[in-house]
Amino acid sequence: MTNPRAWQYDETMFSGVDFSQAEEVAAYDDMHSKFRDYAKASDEIIQRLSLTSDSTVIDLGCGTGAFALHAAKRCRTIYAVDISAAMLDYCRRRAEQLGLTNIIFRNGGLLTYEHGDELADAAVCVAVLHHLPDFWKQVALKRCCEMLKPGGRFLLFDIVFPSGRDCLDEIDQWLKAFETIVDARLAEEALIHVKNEFSTYDWIIEGIIRRSGFQIDTAEYSKGFQALYICTKR
Ligand SMILES: C[S@@+](CC[C@H](N)C(=O)[O-])C[C@H]1O[C@@H](n2cnc3c(N)ncnc32)[C@H](O)[C@@H]1O
């Protein structure tokens, strides 16, 4: 991982939850399995991106392998990329346990990963982009676009705030709901997310996606500030 400019944002410095810490990695799947079904969500991604057994897919910010480990059973090659060596090691160990041999692990970030191999059919970026300030989000998505074949597909999922309504009270309720539905630890992580990380407005994300070389095929905003964008490289 090289950082060509002294002023480039240092993506190894986590502004919020520090995923380089072993304790965060160890707790991740237990906490997330309380409100996510990795297999079901991965099947939906595969279907939404029309991925096949011949597809190559880059999972940017793969984490513990929520998508990569499932997608590897359905696609030809998965590039599992993460800035956290600890997350990537965990994902690699899980892949070994599952006997998956078609995942290529790369320690790198949205701003630093160099995809030297063949252009990919698709990329996914789930709950990662909010780690970068807005200026760097566009740098990241342009880089992502360049890793894809013409017509390549891209799925972006993240927490995005609605610009059309005042959502400050809604954020209060949202944070309280984490404590009720999941647990106090996730509620604390959600608070850190809002306070210190870089989730931004819908119009900013949509503008960034378009200016990075993608067309947005669908933009879906659902409960809990969740946003899902299905895109195609123009
Ligand atoms: C909330 S987790 C999401 C992991 C996974 N995508 C999922 O769906 O569970 C965020 C992940 O993004 C990684 N990450 C944070 N900033 C990153 C960056 N700039 N480039 C690549 N990965 C990054 C973290 O190390 C962590 O594994």
pLDDT tens string 75-115: 999 999 999 999 999 999 999 999 999 999 999 999 999 99
Question: pLDDT tens across 175-220, in order?
Answer: 999 888 888 999 999 999 999 999 999 999 999 999 999 999 999 9
In testing the pocket of ligand 1, which one of 131, 158, 194 has its CB within 8 Å of the most ligand atoms?
131
Average pLDDT score over residue span 17-33: 94
For residue 23, pLDDT beyond 80: yes
Distance 196 CA to ligand 1 centre (A): 15
Output the pLDDT for position 98: 98
Please measure the distance between the N-terminal and C-terminal CA atoms of the chain and give it in whole angstroms: 28
Q: Where are the domains of the chain?
A: 22-162+199-233
Specify the range with the lowest mean pLDDT, choosing from 20-29, 114-123, 134-143, 175-184.
175-184
The tens digit of pLDDT for each residue in 46-62 reads 999 999 999 999 999 99
Q: Which contacts qualify for 105-108: CB closer than 8 Å, 24 or more apart?
A: 105/80, 106/79, 106/80, 106/81, 107/1, 107/81, 107/82, 107/83, 108/1, 108/81, 108/82, 108/83
Residue type present at position 84: S
Do the bridges between strand 103-107 and strand 214-222 make them parallel or antiparallel, or are there none, so unpaired?
unpaired
- Residue 58: both structure tokens together: 């880059």
Phi-psi domain of 213 (left: phi exceeds 0; alpha: psi -120 through 50; beta: other)? left
What pLDDT, on the 0 to 100 scale, is given for residue 222? 94
Cβ(187) – ligand 1 distance below 6 Å: no
- The CATH number of the domain covering residues in 22-162+199-233: 3.40.50.150
Q: Is the CB of 66 under 6 A from ligand 1?
A: yes
Pick the atom of ligand 1 nearest to 112's CA. Answer: 20
Q: Which atom of ligand 1 is nearest to the CA of 132?
A: 19
Q: What is the CA(221)–ligand 1 centre distance, in A?
A: 21
